[in-house]
């Protein structure tokens, strides 16, 4: 697979390490009264769709950025690649 890195252009997926579902960006707030159930959900439960899947790829052999890749799990077709930082900030995260 070729991952079209937003900063570096097309790169071989072998340069990356797969880090799982992109929902891992949305870590629950530990102060929330529901934090316990939220963290169980966050840590262990997955949508695991057959089709479009947002996932984290870490450019370990490259610039060490985290990317959010939207990929079809039935065909390996990649629809979009974004910097995970941009995705997190667009959801209101400051860091």
Judged by CB under 8 A, which stretch of 26-34, 60-68, 69-77, 85-93 contacts other proteins?
69-77
Identify the three-state secondary structure at position 89.
Answer: helix
Sign of CA dihedral 62, 66, 3, 47: positive
Cα(44)–Cα(7) distance, rounded to whole angstroms?
Answer: 32
- Residue pair 59/18 in contact (Cβ under 8 Å)? The answer is no
Alpha carbon 58 to its chain's center: 9
Strand 17-21 to strand 9-12: parallel, antiparallel, or no bridges (unpaired)?
Answer: unpaired
Q: Shortest approach of other proteins to residue 81 CB, angstroms?
A: 14
Residues 5-34 vs other proteins: string with x where CB under 8 A? Answer: --------xx---x-xx-------------
By CB under 8 A, tell whether 40 contacts other proteins: yes
Q: Shortest approach of other proteins to residue 53 CB, angstroms?
A: 6
Other residues' Cβ atoms within 10 Å of the Cβ of residue 89: 12
Choice from 29, 30, 64, 76 touching other proteins (CB under 8 A): 76
By CB under 8 A, tell whether 64 contacts other proteins: no
Q: Which residues of the shown chain bind other proteins in the complex (CB under 8 A)? A: 1, 13-14, 18, 20-21, 40-41, 43-50, 53, 55, 71, 73-76
């Amino acid at each position: 697979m070729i991952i079209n890195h937003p900063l570096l252009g097309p790169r071989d997926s072998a340069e990356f390490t797969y880090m799982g579902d992109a929902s891992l960006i949305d870590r629950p707030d530990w102060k929330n009264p529901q934090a316990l159930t939220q963290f169980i959900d966050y840590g262990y439960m997955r949508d695991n769709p057959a089709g479009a899947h947002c996932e984290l790829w870490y450019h370990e052999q490259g610039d060490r950025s985290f990317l959010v890749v939207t990929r079809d799990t039935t065909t390996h077709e990649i629809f979009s690649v974004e910097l995970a930082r941009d995705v997190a900030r667009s959801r209101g995260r400051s860091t």
